[in-house]
Amino acid sequence: MAKNQDGTIYTGDIVREEFDPTREYTAENQELVFSDEQHGIWADLFAGIHQPYLLEHLCHEYIKGLELLQLDPQRIPTVTHLNERITPRSGWRIERTAVRYTLADDWYKKFAQRIFLITDYLRTRDQMEFTPEPDMFHDIFGHLPFLTQEFYARIEDKFAPAYMKATEEEREVIKHLAWYSTEFGLVMEDNRFKIFGAGIISGRSEFANTVMEFYRLSRDNVID
């Protein structure tokens, strides 16, 4: 098994943690200083997915949004950069959080305010192909190109109000709906499958496996 930077064994499972509210970011400390190693991981993740033979399988809306977001392939973007390109177009804004996605309630409370959270966590070198836990590359590269567009903002607008009014059982259904749409959803474009979900887009292994499955389905004439 691979080891994490702190020497613990990386099992591939999402780490559950008790959140300390005093660690949360404020409006004044949203910007972080990242190390050269972190910028290097971002650059390698970006380059690994930003390939013509992969990009052709992404839906048109994502490609348009990626152009509008103007991400630097070499460096992790600032929150200011993201908000300057998102808020005027969709009305949503970006904030940084120390909360891990296992604590979904905290995220949906922010979604209800039209605030999209990006975590302060970035995967390590041993998780380059896939990370089971949403990190900042997933949040930024996977989701935020879509948030430059109103249609996606309207989709996100529906999740939080429904979640906040739901029972615990209904909340699990809403989580699954998000999982199979904005996280791992596919769409039909130009009479072929295209990738829509941020979980596929931001994971090189997941992306490649999905593309191979497209070819298998086409070869076997499974989908009419």
Do 108 and 163 form a contact (C-beta atoms < 8 A)?
Answer: yes
Instruction: Tell me what pLDDT residue 19 has.
Output: 57
| Distance separating alpha carbons of residues 186 and 109, to the nearest angstrom | 27
Neighbouring residues of 91: CB distance < 8 A, sequence distance ≥ 6? 114, 153
| Distance separating alpha carbons of residues 148 and 88, to the nearest angstrom | 8
Q: Token match 């607008």: residue?
A: 157
Specify if 66 maps to a domain. Answer: yes
Taken as a whole, the chain contains a residue count of 224
Give the tens place of pLDDT for each residue, 94-140.
Answer: 999 988 766 677 788 899 999 999 999 999 998 888 887 889 999 99
Q: Which domain holds residue 121?
A: 33-219
Specify if 5 maps to a domain. Answer: no
Name the pTM for this structure: 0.87
| Distance separating alpha carbons of residues 55 and 59, to the nearest angstrom | 9
Specify if 214 maps to a domain. Answer: yes
Instruction: Tell me what pLDDT residue 102 has.
Output: 64
| Distance separating alpha carbons of residues 106 and 24, to the nearest angstrom | 11
Instruction: Tell me what pLDDT residue 129 has.
Output: 84
CATH number for the domain that contains residue 164: 1.10.800.10
For 222, counting Cβ atoms within 10 Å of its Cβ (0-12 exposed, 13-18 middle, 19+ buried), the class is exposed
Report the domain count for the chain: 1
Specify if 1 maps to a domain. Answer: no
Specify if 27 maps to a domain. Answer: no
CB neighbourhood size of 14 (10 A): 13
How far is CA 141 from its chain centroid?
A: 6
Instruction: Tell me what pLDDT residue 16 has.
Output: 52
Do 129 and 41 form a contact (C-beta atoms < 8 A)?
Answer: no
Specify if 108 maps to a domain. Answer: yes
> 3-state DSSP call for residue 3?
strand
Specify if 16 maps to a domain. Answer: no
* List of the chain residues with pLDDT < 70: 1-21, 101-103, 223-224
Specify if 37 maps to a domain. Answer: yes
